[in-house]
Each structure stands twice: as structure tokens, then as C-alpha cells.
Amino acid sequence: MKRALAWFTGCLLVLQCSGLDLAWLLSWPTLGLVLVSSLKLLEARQPADHRLVALLQLLAVGLLAAQMPGLLASLLQLFTALFALAALLAQELGGALRWRRLLLRSGQLIAAALPLAAVLFLFLPRIGPLWITDVGSGQVATTGLSPELDPLGIAELVRRDAPAARVRFSGALPVEPYWRVLVHDRFDGRRWLRSAVARSRPPFTPAVVSATTQWWSLEPARSRSVPWDGASLPASADLQIQPDGELMLWQPLSQPRTVRLQLSSEPLPWQQQPPTARDLQFPPRGQLSRLEALAAQWAALPRDVDRLAAAEAWFRSQPFRYSLAPGDLREAGLDGFLFDQQVGFCGHYASEFTALMRAAGVPARVVSGYQGGLSVQPLGGSPYLEIRQSDAHAWSEIWLAGEGWRQVDPTT
């Protein structure tokens, strides 16, 4: 009985491990625990062996809960803990109870722990995970948005599944949409920052009735800029589109809020807003010598659109590789990443591509926001997209005369 319960628990653990993101620091210890508990179960003969297997499985459940917080995953973790406790009870009671009574007793033990769990949840201070910390000369960071984009200083990026927003549509859900939030137009040779200019409050133009409506449920955030598709009009006066394409609230978002946007049938003014001197800002010549030499070849082309096409073709020809753990590249700099390392995440590629465009004389800037989202179909309700911090993304925007600002995603 106890061996059968333990093996069933192991199967549930393996099922959940198939959904792990191996870029997470905790993924490998979790896989190791599941493997060790299975091997231990193969040779378990003594009561102490079965106790150890059950404890290892319960520890694996805890690690899975730290990485997979969704509803379905939580239910699987609950059932796994239920069977692991039942196996432990079968060992301690020596077969005195049948398996149904064992599961019932396990459920009672879990229910008895709920009041203590509720007290700890309500009153224990929220402490950041211990595995999110500095590592050597580089830094382990979590996915999300920041006014300062410095990918070269991030040795490893850990996915964080905290919710950012939810959005419902009056029509069909979009496929792999981009949700812009922050515009980074200041460049110091390594970092991209937002301009410290005063944000304007243009006269409010009510959104006209459109075939497509979006209802955004926003989570509290430090930034007053909120996600949007860049092509819709807000329906409330305290939500305004800035000249650089940021959608801003005029009061900090201190509590959850729902806003409504209407798809515009015409291009919005920000898309045709001419570039400023900041969109060509570049460090002193010679600081990025190899990058500048490559961009100089494209600067000789007659049109900006030709320079853009040449840069895109060059990026496609290189053996770039996506990784959330590229290592610390502060010493290597942009030149080292572009020509030597060539391994990184979206922030690296958006930074490099935008710098190349500026060096070639094409106005460009970096935009950070979110890409995609999880499609959710609730029972008895309309589908919506759930956007999480793990969906954070960065891309480039290039100014082309006669067209306006064009989105370019060098990561793809």
C-alpha cells in the first residue's frame, strides 16, 4: 500500500516537472529531488527509507509551488501532497487503514494546517525570494519593467509570474500582440533611460465607438505608464497618450483599476511625432569602435529604410542565441556582445539594434512592455488575456520619413 501510494505520488511529481521552465534557478534542484526520491524508493526496505521518500516528495511539492503558482498547478500540488502524506501515514500505521481512510486522514491533516497558513499569509512580512540576489560580479534579476534598461549588467534573468494586467476584447483575442509601456530614448553607451522631460497633458478627446473595445484590469504599480496596444484611444480623461507613445495615468496606480480603450480607425498623433535630438543621441565616437565601423557601412546607403533593411539582414546572418543566463557583460560592452558573445535576451538585442541604427544616422529608441499573454477561458465567461511579468519584452522603434515610427523586434 505505502509503496503504491509513493509511486503514484512520484508520477504526479514527474507530470508537474514536465512543465518547469529550466531557466529558473529552482528547476534543477526540483528535478534532482524527484529523481533522488524515485531512486530511493526503488531500494527502500526499512521504515526510515519510506519516511525519507515521503519527506523528499513533500519538499519537491514545496519547490514546485514556488515556481508554478497557477490554479491547475496548485490543484496538482495539493493532490500530490495528499498522496505523499497518505504514504507516510501508511508507513506509520502499519497497514491499519485502507487507502481511502488514509487519504481522508491526509486531508484532515492538511485542513488542520490551513488556519496557521492563513495567519502566516496575513501577518508574515513579505520577504523577497532568497534565490534572487547578487551573484559574483553580475546580478540575478527578475523579469519585469524598469525605467532603466541595462541588460549588460544582468548575468541571469529569472522569470517572475506575478500578474501585470488582464485584458478583455469585444472581438477575437489578438495573436502575439505587443503591449507598449515605457520609451527609453536616452543612451549613455550602455544603458537606456527614459527622458526626464515634463509629461504634457493634452486636451482630452473622447474615444469614439469602435468595433473593438479593450477592458484593461490593471495591477498596482510604481510607474504611471500603463500597457496598451499603441493604436487605441482611452475613454477616460485621466488617461492620456504622450507624444512618445506612452499611455499615462495622472495619478499613481495604488490599487487595482479597470480602464477602457477603443481601437482608433486612424493613425494616432504619436506615431507621426517627428524625432528629437535625443533619438540620435550617441556616446563620443570611438567608445563603440566596432559597432560604429559596422554602422558606417550602412550610413552610406541613400535612404533610412535601406539602412534598416541592411541591419535586419545582418542580424539574421549572425549566430545569435537567446538565453536568460548570458553572464555579466559589463566589461565586454556592446561591442563584446555584438561580435563575440552573441548570447542574450530581448534587452540585449533591442539595445544593440537601436544603437546600430543611431550610429548609422537613423533615429531610434528602445521600447519596453509586454508581448503576448496567456489566453484564459473562464467557465461561463468571455475569454481574456492574462499578462504577467514573465511576458516582459523589449524591442526597437525606428523613425522612417513618410511612414513614422516603425516597430522592429530584433529578438525574433
Bridge-based pairing state of the strands 192-193 and 148-149: antiparallel
Decide if 99 contacts 5 (C-beta within 8 A).
yes
Given a cut of 70, whether residue 196 has pLDDT beyond it is no
**CA distances, 86 to each of 64, 99, 100, 117, 293 (Å):** 19, 8, 9, 20, 67
Q: Is the pLDDT of residue 135 over 90?
A: no
Q: Report the pLDDT value the prediction gives residue 40, as an integer from 0 to 100.
A: 85
**Phi, psi angles (nearest 5°) of residue 370:** -135, 150
Best mean pLDDT range from 3-7, 159-163, 336-340: 336-340
* Residue 346 annotated among the catalytic residues of the structure: yes
Q: Are strands 321-322 and 343-344 parallel, antiparallel or unpaired?
A: parallel
Report whether pLDDT(25) > 70.
no
Give the C-alpha separation, 321 to 342, whole Å. 6
Q: Tell me whether residue 150 is one of the annotated catalytic residues.
A: no
* Distance (Å, whole) CA 168 – CA 163: 15
Tell me: the pLDDT tens digits for 366-407? 999 999 998 888 776 788 999 999 999 999 999 999 999 999
pLDDT recorded at residue 336: 93
Q: What is the DSSP string of 45-111?
A: -SHHHHHHHHHHHHHHHHHHHHH--SHHHHHHHHHHHHHHHHHHHHHHHTT-S-HHHHHHHHHHHHH
Are residues 57 and 84 in contact, defined by beta-carbon separation less than 8 angstroms?
yes
26-72: per-residue pLDDT in tens?
A: 788 888 888 988 888 888 888 888 888 888 888 888 888 877 766 77
Residue 283 in this model has a pLDDT that exceeds 70: yes
Q: Is the pLDDT of residue 12 over 60?
A: yes
Q: Which residues pair with 139 in a beta bridge?
A: 134
Domain positions in the chain: 2-123, 138-202+266-408
C-alpha span between 119 and 114 (Å, rounded): 9
- Terminal-residue alpha carbon distance, the chain: 52
Percent of the chain whose pLDDT exceeds 70: 89
Contact 315, 353 (CB under 8 A): yes
- As a whole number, mean pLDDT of residues 92-113 equals 79
Given pLDDT bands bounded at 50, 70 and 90, which one contains residue 281? very high
pTM over 0.85: no
CB 86 within 8 A of CB 93: no
pLDDT of residue 168: 92
- For 363, the enclosing helix (H) or strand (E) is none
Examine the pLDDT at 23 and tell me if it is beyond 70: no
pLDDT at 210: 54
The three-class DSSP label of residue 313 is helix
pLDDT of 181 above 50: yes
- Tell me what the pLDDT averaged over the chain comes to: 85
Residue 286: exposed, middle, or buried by beta-carbon count in 10 A (0-12, 13-18, 19+)? exposed
DSSP 208: P
Active site residue 184: no
Cα distances (Å, whole numbers) of residue 251 to 220, 232, 238, 384: 11, 20, 8, 26
Topology (CATH level 3) of domain 138-202+266-408: C8orf32 fold (3.10.620)
How do residues 115-133 score in pLDDT, each as one tens digit? 888 888 787 765 544 444 3
Catalytic annotation, pick one of 50, 184, 348, 393: 393
Give the pLDDT of residue 132. 42
pLDDT value of position 2: 66
Q: Which of 184, 335, 346, 348 is catalytic?
A: 346
Res 136 pLDDT > 50: no
Closest CA to 32 of 16, 17, 51: 17
